[in-house]
Structure 1
Amino acid sequence: MKIYPIEAGNFKLDGGAMFGVVPKSIWNKTNPADANNLIDIAARCLLIEDGNRLLLIDTGMGDKQSEKFFSYYSLWGEDNLKKSLAKYGFHPDDITDVFMTHLHFDHCGGSINWNSDRTGYEVAFKNATFWTNENHWEWATRPNPREKASFLSENILPMQESGQLKFVNRPDTDFGFSTELGFDIFYVDGHTEKQMIPHIKYQDKTIVFCADLLATAGHLPIPYVMGYDTRPLLTMPEKTKFLNAAADNNYYLWLEHDAHNQIITVEHTEKGVRLKEVFRCEDILI
């Protein structure tokens, strides 16, 4: 097995929204804001090469939305999904599976492109199976008013219309092994219904793709919950359970949205679970 970091593009989000009720005087120390109160955000996806299988976890925003849409997110940097795949010698047509932690636009937008004459949409990975779970699919395709702006039909429905969509068989518990995908999944509901957090065995390590359960290293304290979460009081016990396991088992936490800290480990302290070490992807994926 080989694992590659796929940088799908950087953007900015409002720091207050990213930290909820936490005062700026506190979160600005770890996630400094610009003059517009925006903080740096990454879309760091993960590619697993295992035999003939090439599995991509999340796909970033993509590039098909309008100029007005992207103006809200202050895109920065030169990274994009296709360029990042090419860096390692891969093309979108090589991808066999796309696993989506959840269907918010900044996690799945790159899964769908305009068609050639821009009259409709087509999947960006024509040879891939797209994986979500049935509970989350129902949640995303019948969105509540709070999340409606994050679940864009053009990012979601073409997967089903192409015939390439499949659902992960979810266990009765919140943690279990996926025989379809070959890794453990932790199911969490605080951010959105049945977000999936993959735990990947790599050499002698467990790499956990944190998605929006832990957006950045600055979000380690349990009360530091994003304003975007639909059930913030549920996020806190989910984070507690997850971070205790991460500290106990020395998980390597892959931070999808942290533009400046790629992979971290954590440890137990008197103040709770806190940052232990920071790694670049190439330090771990040797």
Structure 2
Amino acid sequence: MKLYPIESGNFKLDGGAMFGVVPKTLWNRTNPADANNLIDIAARCLLIEIGNRLILIDTGMGNKQDDKFFGHYALWGNDSIDGSLAQHGFHRNDITDVFMTHLHFDHCGGSIQWNKDRTSYEPAFKNARFWTNENHWQWATNPNAREKASFLKENILPMQESGHLQFITSPQADYSYNNDLGFSILFVDGHTEKQMIPHIQYKGKTLVFMADLLPTVGHIPLPYVMGYDTRPLLTLEEKKKFLEKAADEGYYLFLEHDAHNQVCTVQHTEKGVRLKEIFTFNELFNS
């Protein structure tokens, strides 16, 4: 097995929305805001090469919406999925599986693209299967009013129409092990229904793809919960349980949305679980 971080592009989000009820004077220390109260956000994906499989976890926003849409998110930087894949010697047509932690637009928008004459949509990874779970699929295709703006039908429905959509079975307990993909999955419901958090065994370490359970290093303290979460009190419980286990077992946390920190570890302190160390992916696994 080999792993590769894939940078799909950067954007900005309102800092208050990203930290909910936490005052700006606190969250601004770790995630400084610009003059418009926006903070830097990444859309960092992860590529798993295992045997003859290339599994891409999440795909970022994509590029098929109009300028007005992207104007809300202040895109910045030069990263792209195609450029990042090429740096590692891959092309999007090499991807065999796309695993989506959930179907919010900033996690799955890159899975679907316009066709050549921009008359309809098609898979952006033409040789890949698209993986979600049935509970979350139903949640996303019949969205509540709070999340409707995050579940865009042009990102989601073409996966099913393509015939490439696959469902992972939701477990009876918190965790599921999917033998076909080769990693275990933690299911969490605070941010959205049945978000999937991959746990990957790699070079003697457990690497956890954090998605929106822990967006940035600044979100480690328990009350630092996004305003986007549909069930914030449940997020509190899920974070507490996960972070305690991560500290106990020495997990390495791969941060999808932290524009300035790729991987971190956590530790127990008198104030609860807190940041321990920060790493780049390369220094952790390729040094």
Q: TM-score range by the shorter chain?
A: over 0.9
Residue of structure 2 equivalent to 1:89 = 89
Deviation at 1:180, TM superposition (A): 2.3
**1:202 alignment partner AA:** Y
Residue of structure 2 equivalent to 1:37 = 37
Aligned-partner Cα distance in 2 for 1:279–1:203? 15
Residue of structure 1 equivalent to 2:181 = 181
**Cα deviations by residue, 1:68-111 (Å, 9 ceiling, x for unpaired):** 00000000000011111111111111000000000000000000
Deviation at 1:284, TM superposition (A): 2.0
1:113 aligns with 2:113: yes
Aligned-partner Cα distance in 1 for 2:155–2:83? 20
Residue of structure 2 equivalent to 1:262 = 262
Aligned-partner Cα distance in 1 for 2:47–2:15? 28
Contact kept? 1:4, 1:285, Cα under 8 Å: no
Residue of structure 1 equivalent to 2:208 = 208
Aligned-partner Cα distance in 2 for 1:104–1:205? 29
Residue of structure 1 equivalent to 2:69 = 69
Contact kept? 2:203, 2:285, Cα under 8 Å: no
- The normalised TM-score by structure 2 is 0.99
Aligned-partner Cα distance in 1 for 2:213–2:180? 23
Aligned-partner Cα distance in 1 for 2:155–2:265? 33
Aligned-partner Cα distance in 2 for 1:138–1:283? 40
Aligned-partner Cα distance in 2 for 1:181–1:7? 21
Contact kept? 1:184, 1:199, Cα under 8 Å: yes
Aligned-partner Cα distance in 2 for 1:260–1:272? 24
Deviation at 1:186, TM superposition (A): 0.5
- The normalised TM-score by structure 1 is 0.99
Residue of structure 2 equivalent to 1:155 = 155
Aligned-partner Cα distance in 1 for 2:265–2:189? 23
Aligned-partner Cα distance in 1 for 2:207–2:233? 26
Residue of structure 2 equivalent to 1:21 = 21
SS of residue paired to 1:166: strand
**Cα deviations by residue, 1:88-140 (Å, 9 ceiling, x for unpaired):** 11111100000000000000000000001001100000110100000000000
Q: Cα RMSD (Å) of the superposition?
A: 0.6
Deviation at 1:175, TM superposition (A): 1.0
SS of residue paired to 2:206: strand
Deviation at 1:242, TM superposition (A): 0.5
Question: What number of residue pairs does the alignment pair up?
Answer: 286
Aligned-partner Cα distance in 2 for 1:158–1:277? 41
Deviation at 1:174, TM superposition (A): 1.1
**Cα deviations by residue, 1:120-167 (Å, 9 ceiling, x for unpaired):** 100000110100000000000000000000000000011100000000
Structure 2, unaligned stretches of length 5 or more? none
**2:267 alignment partner AA:** E
Residue of structure 2 equivalent to 1:237 = 237
The runs of at least 4 consecutive aligned structure 1 residues that moved more than 2 Å come to: none
Residue of structure 2 equivalent to 1:224 = 224
Deviation at 1:232, TM superposition (A): 0.2
SS of residue paired to 1:207: strand
Aligned-partner Cα distance in 1 for 2:138–2:197? 18
Of all paired residues, the percent bearing the same amino acid is: 74
SS of residue paired to 1:8: strand
Aligned-partner Cα distance in 2 for 1:27–1:284? 27
Structure 1, unaligned stretches of length 5 or more? none
Deviation at 1:187, TM superposition (A): 0.3
For residues 131-170 of structure 1, the aligned pairs below 5 Å read 131-170=131-170
Aligned-partner Cα distance in 1 for 2:260–2:71? 22
